[in-house]
Structure 1
Amino acid sequence: MDARPVGAFDSGVGGLAVVRAFRQLAPAERVIYFADSAWFPYGPRPPAEVRKRAFAITHRLLESDVKLIIVACNTASAAALRELREAFPGVPFVGMVPGVKPAALRSKSGHVAVLATAGTLDGELYDRVVEQFGRGTKVTAVAGTGLADMVERGDISGPAIAARLEQLLGPAVGRGADTVVLGCTHYAFLGEAITRLFPSVEVVDTSEAAARRAVDLLCDADALSPGPGGLDLIVSGDRQRLRATMAALGFTPAEQEANR
């Protein structure tokens, strides 16, 4: 047993998709979530800048004595996960990996589209995952420019988001892509919109897989908490705006429970 909290971070609300999945799997755990909204979005920033923020946030979370850190952001995982593990060898880190492997296994057409930020698509992690798990599958990279901004405003349905998704994903789907990988945690909130727009397309979201990995690591280390669970928010930007966006994304008052 280990009553210390679990840390998690992202540039805004996106990582809360992973936190929600984690809290459903391990409701007795207390999570400290750092929303780095003052530096949102990470996607177009240089990797060195994202890495610097990841290290700064990690230091802040470790000041709160967290027992595990979820890098709940694909861009930050691509830019900093390896370096974080090297710099903090005693801290378990769980990062986000584009779900190319499950997508390739599920695709009937052999054509997969990966919807992600430029920071993720240009990273070594993405190249390695495609090389390792995408062999024999056509993998089309689709830069989701502007989507994270829309999600950060709570805009996850309606004509504007449908038009943007059609513009971005329509060409790949038209060329035969039957599976879409959500390669940014913000995009986890767009799964329903994508399914409504492209009913024949399967959506792969790795939020639950990352959450389950975190739970498995805690189980292996006999470090599950006896409770009580909860959510603490640390926000580098506008806290009230973040809470308003959480409500727009469907987080209940209980899910928004926060002590900081």
Structure 2
Amino acid sequence: MIGMFDSGLGGLSVWRQLRHALPQQDVVYLADQGYCPYGERSQPELIARAEAITAWLLQQGAQLLLIACNTATSAAARHLRERYPQLPIVGMEPAIKPAVLASQSGRVGVLATHATLQGDKFRQLVAQFAGDTLVVPQAGKGFVELVEAGELDSERSRAVVGRALAPLLEQGVDHVVLGCTHYPFLAPLVRQLLPAHIDIIDPTDAVIRQTLRLMQQHGLAAASGPAANYRFASTGQPGNMAHFLQHTLGTMAQVEYIDLPG
């Protein structure tokens, strides 16, 4: 079983691709909606939250942890790997390397939460891969809240997304990296608001490949058998998550309410 978590519904953008790549693999997904958004939380808060969630997922039988959240990965992945050295862990990080390699203008934009952009991991990625390319960070202020509300294409969402894209357009970027798992749900709107020559990069495919590699490496991949069992839980609004699953992802599912410490 794969255990996944995110601050809310954003990690479902990873799950929707995971179910196609690993159709026999059971998954338990916890949306920490009672603590969402993560973007303005401190690192100690996020580490404590990630520990509590990981402990719960392991109790449910998870054998691999997929941190389907850039902010939580940046804040807590290293800590969790030290805390659980035998547990395969996959995290999310902004796809700066492929954006830099593909850029013709030498300018790429990164849309992410404030916490991700202020984290050590983001600075390390820029230092390691940017070279002479200018990496323009931009917080997607309000993006997470739009996705959590299911407001993916409205006048308000167009205004919020447009404000975030404006500084990137002013800098002349030719690639925009989606550095938060909530943001792919707004990708169609981002695409509408960007000139055609600007490419959007979503790291989800690379994360799915890494998940599959680790599952095979640790002998956890279910190569055949019955269709996967998916279990969904929320620390906040089960009805909201069930509605999103049905109307955005076309999946009918019950969502449990989970009361975690803190």
Normalized against structure 2, the TM-score is what?
A: 0.93
Question: Aligned pair count?
Answer: 253
**Offset, 1:87:** 0.4
Partner of 1:53: 49
1:85 aligns with 2:81: yes
Separation of aligned partners in 2, 1:201 and 1:162: 18
> Aligned letter for 2:238?
R
**Contact 2:107 2:135 survives alignment (8 Å):** yes
**Contact 2:238 2:255 survives alignment (8 Å):** no
Normalized against structure 1, the TM-score is what?
A: 0.94
Partner of 2:244: 245
Separation of aligned partners in 1, 2:104 and 2:152: 28
Equivalent residues in 2 for 1:161-176, closer than 5 Å: 161-176=157-172
Partner of 2:26: 30
Equivalent residues in 2 for 1:1-260, closer than 5 Å: 5-198=1-194, 199-225=196-222, 226-228=224-226, 229-248=228-247, 250-253=248-251, 256-258=252-254, 260=256
Which portions of structure 1, spanning 4 or more consecutive aligned residues, are displaced by more than 4 angstroms? none
Separation of aligned partners in 2, 1:230 and 1:258: 12
- 1:64–1:184: structure 2 CA closer, same or farther, 3 Å change rule? same
**Offset, 1:258:** 4.8
- 1:232–1:258: structure 2 CA closer, same or farther, 3 Å change rule? farther
Separation of aligned partners in 2, 1:151 and 1:107: 29
> Aligned letter for 2:169?
V
Structure 2 counterpart SS, 1:57: helix
CA RMSD, 1 decimal: 1.3
Sequence identity (%): 38
Most deviating of 169-178 and 148-157: 169-178
**Offset, 1:174:** 2.5
**Contact 2:90 2:210 survives alignment (8 Å):** yes
Unaligned runs of 5+ in 1: none
Structure 2 counterpart SS, 1:62: helix
